[in-house]
Structure 1
Amino acid sequence: MSKTAQDLIAGTAGGIAQVLVGQPFDIVKVRMQTAPKGTYRGMVDCAGGILKNEGPLAFYKGTLTPLLGIGVCVSIQFGAMEYSKRFFAKRNLESGIGGPHGILLTGPQLLVSGVFAGVANGVVSGPVEHIRIRLQTQSATKPEFGGPWDAIKKIYAKRGVAGIYKGQAVTLLREASGYAVYFWAYEKLMQREMATKRIARDQVNPGKAVLFGAAAGYVLWAVIYPIDMIKSRIQTDGFSPADGQKYTSTLDCVRKVWRAEGAGAFVRGLTPTLIRSPFANGATFLGFEMAQRVLHKLFHEESDAPF
């Protein structure tokens, strides 16, 4: 099995782990981001309202889309990231850059690799998150969509591909900036662990993958949360003025939210995100690293080559 195929499979494992752990927190975040100011007193009030009015299964509303879609998205993220890392590692090897425990990538190389992973991922994550957010925020008593496939069919019938990709520009901005720092933070922590203990990557304690993933998740959200809020607003907005459209562009959304709700709107829903982040991102990297180790053992001969 090729290294790229292994990366994609391991990334899928990480994505599934991320969704199962993080989905309940995510729906609370989205509801708080998109609700009018004053709707909820806080995270507990929002979560309590969902539980009381919609039942416990509501916390996994719209899960099928992210379970399939985010599995693919995280697969693409890691596949693109690992491909880019191998590209730079090969160049570093040819230049004689490295250490006793492997070819180390520089900070700029890791950032560029993360941007590449984010842009590649954004092509899929944009429509996946759009459909998920529509399902998460629709009325529980009079739902517009019967499920993810119904939502895709109805939006496509009325608005075409552009409707499915609503909010794509801000999604690409979020993914490129976010995954640049996300993977940079994780890889730097992993490199430090390997250098300090003089061990190979597959000898790093799995618990460290969880901790490093949790730390990388906090770095990610510190950079992208306001962008993510704008993305949520745009992806729950109407498709035209006749359809209740509030925002004509990303900048228009930023200006109107700032004027109407102030700076606080850009961090509304941050608490459930910060609670969710270490669990979801720790699970993502743990799933990826463990799947990589299993695949390496199963296809050891094919995996021996460094590139």
Structure 2
Amino acid sequence: MSADFWAGYISGAAGILIGNPLDLIKVRLQAGTSSLTSIPSSYTSQFSSAGSLIRGATAPILGYGALNALLFVTYNRTSALLNSSTTGAPPNLWTTWLAGAIGGLATWVVSTPTELIKCRAQISTSSNAASSWGITKQILRTEGIRGLYFGGVVTALRDSIGYGFYFWSYELSTQLMISRMRERGSDTQEAAKVLLCGGLAGVVTWASIFPLDVIKTRVQTQITADSTTAPLLGPAVSTDGPERRRLGAVEVARNAYRTEGPGVFFRGLMVCSTRAFIVNAVQWAVYEWTMNELDPERKTSKIKDDEL
């Protein structure tokens, strides 16, 4: 495996461990009335026990590590291909966005089932909530592999747009910070630069796709009893008990707007932004550190570039 694969995997797992408690709050706020359980009114009441701090974290730790690895490998290869004619020049911001969008789209196969399992685990406030593995088995038993990809189209759209802005904002803030430091004649502090730029990239990313994330969460947290079919965005009908139709992304968005107003699409944004800054600052720091350790030539090249 390449250095960027392992750097992406390790940084992704580290980000989930740090950000899961705030992510749990974000998902419950987004799920709103579509959740099977009521949402406690205060943030502290979201956690009934120490175990609730990591509820739903198993699937993301395993899945998001692989997702992050796939993301960075695809992004790096695509970026190198798009910028092959301008070797030695700073990355073009448009090609950076495009490479990030392609990288985000490539993660669809991992991100959709990971997000679905995570969200369903997190909306439960019961102390006896099913584990990620238990939820996975239940979905496979009642809906098959297709059930794991319910909400796949809106997830792919969210990831493609979001990761485009993720790499774009990281590259832009890095270039601006280096430029300002050179103007002031100060040395670039690599750790501080990575933490700040990584945190800002996380906030910009989530701000750009938060309404899509709200819709995705509401689509994926619809649960019907023993449903046997689950199209990616189309309706699914339960064959046992009362007929219940799962709504597609457009219907979910319309219903949310009609019943709760436009503010529903930004519910939980403050919590998400706080989490995004912390998690992505750490993720980029871990990624850069791991890459430098696994690829010493890259570290030497970066030092030379900063000195130019």
Scaled by the length of structure 1, the TM-score of the pair is 0.84
State whether structure 2 residue 36 is matched by structure 1 residue 10. no
State whether structure 2 residue 70 is matched by structure 1 residue 76. yes
1:48 Cα deviation from its structure 2 partner: 1.6
* Aligned match for 1:158, one of 119, 124, 142: 142
- In the alignment of these two chains, the number of paired residues is 282
Cα distance 1:155–1:281, how it changes in 2: closer, same or farther (>3 A)? Answer: same
Task: Tell me the equivalent position of 2:33.
Answer: 36
1:196 Cα deviation from its structure 2 partner: 5.5
CA distance in 1 between counterparts of 2:214 and 2:199 reads 21
CA distance in 2 between counterparts of 1:22 and 1:210 reads 15
Say whether the 8 Å CA contact 2:97–2:167 is kept in structure 1.
yes
1:92 Cα deviation from its structure 2 partner: 1.9
Scaled by the length of structure 2, the TM-score of the pair is 0.83
Give, as a single letter, the amino acid of the residue that structure 2 aligns with 1:253.
V
Say whether the 8 Å CA contact 1:89–1:104 is kept in structure 2.
no
* Aligned match for 2:161, one of 177, 188, 191: 177
CA distance in 1 between counterparts of 2:99 and 2:76 reads 8
Counterparts of residues 96-245 of structure 1 (less than 5 Å): 102-141=88-127, 143=129, 145=130, 147-194=131-178, 205-239=190-224, 240-242=236-238, 245=244
> What do the CA deviations read for 1:157-209 (whole angstroms, capped 9, x no partner)?
111121011110100010011111110010122234455557xxxx7611211
1:274 Cα deviation from its structure 2 partner: 1.6
CA distance in 2 between counterparts of 1:61 and 1:41 reads 16
> What do the CA deviations read for 1:275-302 (whole angstroms, capped 9, x no partner)?
111100101111111111101129999x
Cα distance 1:27–1:300, how it changes in 2: closer, same or farther (>3 A)? Answer: closer
CA distance in 1 between counterparts of 2:181 and 2:12 reads 29
Task: Tell me the equivalent position of 1:48.
Answer: 44
Task: Tell me the equivalent position of 2:267.
Answer: 268
CA distance in 2 between counterparts of 1:237 and 1:254 reads 13
Say whether the 8 Å CA contact 2:30–2:217 is kept in structure 1.
yes
Say whether the 8 Å CA contact 1:23–1:63 is kept in structure 2.
yes
1:264 Cα deviation from its structure 2 partner: 1.5
Runs (5+) with no aligned partner, structure 2 = 183-187, 225-235, 301-308
Say whether the 8 Å CA contact 2:207–2:273 is kept in structure 1.
no
Give, as a single letter, the amino acid of the residue that structure 1 aligns with 2:78.
S
State whether structure 2 residue 62 is matched by structure 1 residue 62. no
Say whether the 8 Å CA contact 2:83–2:92 is kept in structure 1.
no
1:18 Cα deviation from its structure 2 partner: 0.8
1:136 Cα deviation from its structure 2 partner: 1.0
Say whether the 8 Å CA contact 1:247–1:253 is kept in structure 2.
no
RMSD across aligned positions (CA): 2.7
Secondary structure of the residue aligned to 1:284 is helix
CA distance in 2 between counterparts of 1:106 and 1:123 reads 28
1:267 Cα deviation from its structure 2 partner: 1.1
CA distance in 2 between counterparts of 1:64 and 1:238 reads 20
Task: Tell me the equivalent position of 2:287.
Answer: 288
Task: Tell me the equivalent position of 1:85.
Answer: 79
Say whether the 8 Å CA contact 2:207–2:269 is kept in structure 1.
no
1:12 Cα deviation from its structure 2 partner: 1.0
Instruction: Between 208-217 and 186-195, report the one with greater CA deviation.
Output: 186-195
CA distance in 2 between counterparts of 1:215 and 1:300 reads 23
CA distance in 2 between counterparts of 1:113 and 1:300 reads 22
CA distance in 1 between counterparts of 2:123 and 2:203 reads 25
Say whether the 8 Å CA contact 1:238–1:245 is kept in structure 2.
no
1:14 Cα deviation from its structure 2 partner: 1.3
Cα distance 1:298–1:153, how it changes in 2: closer, same or farther (>3 A)? Answer: farther
CA distance in 1 between counterparts of 2:125 and 2:223 reads 15
CA distance in 2 between counterparts of 1:9 and 1:244 reads 46
Runs (5+) with no aligned partner, structure 1 = 94-101, 302-307
Give, as a single letter, the amino acid of the residue that structure 2 aligns with 1:187.
E
